[in-house]
Amino acid sequence: MTTTILSWAWVGTGVILILLVLLHSPKGDGMGGLAASGSSMFTSASSAEATLKKTTWTFLAIFLSLAIILSAGWLE
């Protein structure tokens, strides 16, 4: 049961991680410009990019931690 829940959480964080990476704008506006343009939550584009970067790193850490836990077989 726990393995199933963690497996679905791993898949969910993977999908969110993919979306977050697609929102980044390394050279141009890209899709990141869409998220930053209509958002009143951020005061500037650099603030939005910094928040996006922190969120991406957080989800990456969660994704990799779940991958290690699931592949090591510690729950069985």
Q: Which pLDDT does position 37 carry in this prediction?
A: 55
User: Are the C-beta atoms of residues 42 and 36 closer than 8 Å to each other?
Assistant: yes
Q: How confident is the model at residue 18 (pLDDT cuts 50, 70, 90)?
A: very high
Q: How confident is the model at residue 25 (pLDDT cuts 50, 70, 90)?
A: confident
Which pLDDT tens digit goes with each residue over 35-75?
Answer: 555 555 556 778 888 899 999 999 999 999 999 999 998 88
Which pLDDT tens digit goes with each residue over 1-16?
Answer: 899 999 999 999 999 9
Q: Which pLDDT does position 49 carry in this prediction?
A: 86
Locate 35 and state its tokens.
């998220």
Q: Domain extents for the chain?
A: 1-19+45-76
